């Protein structure tokens, strides 16, 4: 139970079991529940869409879902995305990029990265709502948080110390395997073959992103995990949208 509370405290603004109050060992075990927390966040978005859909236009509901998503996570992943974009945009060697990423101010590259991701999420949220594919939010939540577990398992920490130190490079195989089962199993139940293909693409994307970060900054940080989450959320919904074009009769893929 403490590991579950630590996972909730790490990934959301829900106050109980806050990650700062949990020991490193408990935080490491908490990754087992990352997909379930993602599922809960997806369920919150799905429920909000179903509740507001009958009385508001899809575009308005999509905008409100962006707000809900940012609020429940405290904007943590968006902040990581902005920091990574600023660091990569600044260029230079590993030390310079990490230094820029640590700066709390959002620069031009960070603002551009945020704008691109938010515009894409707004458009994709609206698409899911208009076509009645709100269950896609469940798959999005499951696979995006699973991606963070995979990255923490295969990656190494790029800094000497930091808040993500208990996760990156510290995850044991049994915890990664259990988290994978908790992510892929429900994804299959929700979306069948489309979900499994999406999971495979997420797995490959994590491997590619890992190689890219190794070449740029020597590994992962908390910011890069947050950025990965945002990228995977967009990627999963984009894949669902594209997959629909190949579905006979236009049936929703999830």
Instruction: Tell me the pLDDT tens digit for each residue of 204-225.
Output: 999 999 999 999 999 999 999 9
pTM of this structure: 0.91
Return the higher-pLDDT residue of 101 and 167.
101
Q: Given this model, what pLDDT does residue 254 score?
A: 59
pLDDT of 1 above 90: no
Q: What is the mean pLDDT of residues 160-169?
A: 79
Q: Given this model, what pLDDT does residue 136 score?
A: 95
Domain region containing 104? 2-250
Q: How many domains is the chain built from?
A: 1
Name residues whose C-beta falls within 8 Å of residue 136's C-beta, 6 or more positions apart in sequence.
128, 191, 236, 237, 240, 254
Phi, psi of 193 (to 5 degrees): -60, -40
Instruction: Tell me the pLDDT tens digit for each residue of 42-88.
Output: 999 999 999 999 999 999 999 999 999 999 999 999 999 999 999 99
Q: What is the mean pLDDT of residues 117-130?
A: 96
Q: Are 198 and 187 in contact (CB under 8 A)?
A: yes
Average pLDDT, the chain: 90
Banded pLDDT at 22 (limits 50, 70, 90): low
Instruction: Tell me the pLDDT tens digit for each residue of 100-115.
Output: 999 889 999 999 999 9
pLDDT of 250 above 80: no
Banded pLDDT at 16 (limits 50, 70, 90): low
């Amino acid at each position: 139970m403490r590991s579950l509370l630590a996972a909730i405290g790490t990934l959301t603004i829900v106050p109980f079991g806050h990650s700062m109050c949990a020991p490193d060992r408990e935080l490491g075990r908490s990754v087992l529940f990352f997909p379930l927390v993602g599922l809960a966040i997806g369920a919150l978005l799905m429920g909000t869409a179903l509740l507001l859909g009958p009385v508001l236009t899809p575009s308005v509901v999509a905008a409100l879902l962006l707000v809900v998503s940012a609020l429940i996570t405290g904007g943590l992943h968006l902040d990581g995305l902005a920091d990574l974009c600023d660091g990569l945009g600044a260029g230079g060697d590993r030390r310079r990029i990490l230094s820029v990423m640590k700066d709390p101010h959002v620069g031009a590259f960070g603002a551009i990265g945020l704008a691109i991701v938010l515009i894409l999420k707004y458009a994709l949220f609206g698409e899911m709502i208009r076509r009645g594919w709100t269950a896609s939010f469940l798959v999005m939540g499951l696979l995006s948080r699973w991606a963070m577990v995979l990255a923490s398992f295969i990656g190494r920490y790029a800094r000497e110390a930091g808040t993500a130190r208990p996760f990156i490079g510290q995850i044991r195989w049994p915890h990664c395997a259990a988290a994978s089962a908790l992510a892929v199993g429900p994804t299959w139940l929700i979306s069948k073959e489309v979900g499994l293909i999406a999971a495979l693409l997420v797995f490959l994307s994590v491997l590619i992103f890992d190689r890219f970060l190794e070449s740029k900054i020597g590994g992962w940080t908390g910011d890069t995990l947050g950025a990965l989450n945002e990228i995977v959320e967009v990627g999963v919904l984009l894949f669902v949208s594209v997959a629909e074009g190949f579905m006979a009769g236009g049936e929703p893929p999830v």
